Structure 1
Amino acid sequence: MATTIYLIGARASGKTTIGRALASVLNYAFVDTDEYMSATSHMTVAEVVAKEGWVGFRRRESEALHAVTAPKTVIATGGGMVLATANRKYMRAHGKVFYLHVPAEVMAERLKADPNSAQRPTLTGRSIVEEINEVMAERETLYHETAHYILNGSVPVERVVKQALDMLGG
């Protein structure tokens, strides 16, 4: 198996953490599209949004997706990667897509505990829980539509990785 693996899900669903662990087990490269975008733009996500708006950010996000897609790579995508139809189709056509499903309450707790949360601009201007509920109402169907597989991202990392490996047939 030398496929590209995409991890999709809301912010704080564990895409980067799971992605690093899965890549390590598979001996694959790992890329986080937000980290890639920050490195290539020399700006944080918040700075990109402040300077270029959400439209500019989404454009850069799509460009990052294409730039990092490669065989034997696990890619943690930004939570909004699925908003563009072209991105959804691209991921499904170029690899295996795993949706990390996590209850809103768990994501809220993770965000509250995340020291980097200040670098993540609010999407709605609401409280964390309200924002997660609103964003998930908009994106849940898109995550399901895009995913080849759905993982329970609220269990320990090792169990999520095992779920993914089992689904991949390994």
Structure 2
Amino acid sequence: MISNNSNIILIGMPGSGKSTVGVILAKLTSKGFIDGDVLIQTTEGKTLQDIVNEDGHMELRRIEERVLLSINCDNHVISPGGSAAYSSKAMNYLRSNGIVVFLHTDLETLRARIKNYETRGLAKGPDQTFDDLFRERMALYTEYADITVETSSKAQEEVAEEILRLALQQGNNL
């Protein structure tokens, strides 16, 4: 479902570049930028890791859904956390207000980028490996994506430019 709304929603694994590419896209398009992880932390008054440690990964997912459903804006780049795709309610809401772009990064590249897997505040099961998380989330990201951009071997500026090019080719009003 391609929307003519003006938001760009970036989804993908931790380390795929959602926050960095999001800021670049916001600058290129004169849009506001919303980082879902930061929004959760400011709303809850604690870090993602503290939420996971104190209340568990499922509570982080519930909080993330609630926070994402509270976003009401146009003309923004939105970078929800990597676990946003677990909530069909949140993803369908975001998708109804913009175009969803999956930043696909291969597992090897993600492993090289993510050094703090155990302390990053990820909404993952206690015994879930990064490989398990990757496999589990790939199907979800693919399901919600209007556009998929391979990011493994590209500079972040190249990724942002490709997103704009592909979105405009599909007739999106950015």
* TM-score of the aligned structures, taking structure 2 as reference length: 0.86
RMSD of aligned alpha carbons: 2.1
Off by >4 Å, runs of 4+ in structure 1: none
Equivalent position amino acid for 1:145 in 2:
E
Q: Does 1:37 align with 2:40?
A: yes
- 2:147 is matched with 149
Map 1:154-169; keep pairs closer than 5 Å. 154=152, 155-169=154-168
* Number of aligned residues: 165
Map 1:19-38; keep pairs closer than 5 Å. 19-38=22-41
Q: Which runs of 5 or more residues in structure 1 are unaligned?
A: none
Equivalent position amino acid for 1:17 in 2:
T
CA contact (8 A) 2:5 2:97 kept: no
Between the two structures, name the one with larger relative contact order (CA 8 Å, sep ≥ 6): 2
Q: Does 1:17 align with 2:29?
A: no
- Of all paired residues, the percent bearing the same amino acid is 27
Equivalent position amino acid for 1:123 in 2:
K
Among 34, 44, 47, the residue aligned to 2:50:
47
Q: What's the secondary structure of 2:94's corresponding residue?
A: helix
Q: What's the secondary structure of 2:81's corresponding residue?
A: coil
The Cα shift of 1:73 comes to 0.8
